[in-house]
Structure 1
Amino acid sequence: MLEANTGSVNAAANSGPTPGVSADITYIARPGPGPVVVFLHGIGSNATSFAPIFELLPPRFSLIAWNAPGYSGSAPLAMDWPLARNYADRLAQMLDGLDLGQVHIVGHSLGTLIATAFARRFPKRLLSLTLAAAAKGYGVPRGGVLPEGVGNRLTELARLGPAVFAHARAGNLVHEPALHPDIVARVEAAMAQVNPDGYAQAVRMLASGDLPGDLARVAARPGFIVGMQDRVTPIAQTRAAAQAWEAAQGIRPTITEIDQAGHAVYLQRPGAFCSALLEHMGLATASKPEGT
Structure 2
Amino acid sequence: MQNIKFYNGNTMPQLGLGVFRVENDDTAKDAVKHAIVNGYRSIDAALVYGNEEMVGLGIQEGMAEAGIQREDLFITSKLWLDQYGKDNVIKGYQTSIDNLGLDYLDLYLIHWPGTDEALTIDTWKGMEALYEAGKVKNIGVSNFNIEHLEALKNQTSIKPVINQVEFHPYFTQESLRNYLATTDIHMESWSPLMNAEILTDETINAIAEEVGKSAAQVVIRWNIEHGVVTIPKSVTPHRIEENINVFDFSLTEEQVARIDALNQNKRIGPNPLEFNG
TM-score over 0.5 for the pair: no
Q: What is the TM-score when the length of structure 2 is the normalising length?
A: 0.31
Q: What is the TM-score when the length of structure 1 is the normalising length?
A: 0.30
